Amino acid sequence: MYSRRSLTSWAGKVRTKIKICGITTRADVGQAIACGCDAVGFVFYKRSPRYVSPRAAAAIIAAVPAGVERVGVFVNARERTVRQVARRCGLTMVQFHGDESPAFCRRFRGWRIIKALRVRSAGDISQASRYRTSAVLFDTFSADGFGGTGRRFDWNLLRRANVRQTVFLSGGLTPATVAGAVRLVKPAWVDVSSGVERSPGRKDARKIRAFVRAVKRAEKHD
């Protein structure tokens, strides 16, 4: 079982929760949990450099303590595949990061669903109203792929938006930028992958710690 340390000595209780995504190794998930992150994400999209097989993910997830969300990321996967992987890995949340329709997302009543929307304009954010999911994740649009770009969109668009679901903010978040994002958007969650890596799929423990510290400092001075 991975050990989870409390980092309350840095700045008290965290209001904005933190998800570390694109995890591929036991060591990296252990570091994320030790730093007090609230969720760990595993990418089951084979075209991603952060892809992890269901078998490998299940072995890593087996030691994740209760209270840490276990999120599976899927891109335009078949319903049967999603269900099989989610059950095998013991996922608590399922994130759809492709072109999944509102009807498709409604089929998974046994899991809390995050629908990712790739943002270019305010019109992309308004698409959240079509989905009856637990949460919506806003990420940066890229014509080259689905997520993991390391680029940010105009976060000011979210300040003017009326989103009824829980908001996850992603895209261009790093230890240097996340504090500004938290103060500006005030999301329920921040979701980071490439911003705390030394290479795709390999996390950097120092960057994870710096990221968590930055979130806490932003809240302390809010």
Q: How far is CA 173 from CA 61, 70, 82, 114, 131, in A?
A: 24, 20, 27, 18, 25
Helix axes 205-220, 26-34, angle to 10 degrees: 20
Residues 152, 169: Cα–Cα separation, whole Å:
10
37 has catalytic annotation: no
45 secondary structure, DSSP code: -
Which of 28, 105, 139, 191 is catalytic? The answer is: 139
Q: Which residue has the tokens 């019109």?
A: 123
**Are the beta carbons of 171 and 152 closer than 8 angstroms?**
yes
**Are the beta carbons of 137 and 187 closer than 8 angstroms?**
no
21 has catalytic annotation: yes
Which of 21, 35, 37, 89 is catalytic? The answer is: 21
Partner residues linked to 169 by β-bridges: 138, 190
3-state secondary structure of 214: helix
**Residues carrying an active site annotation:** 21, 139
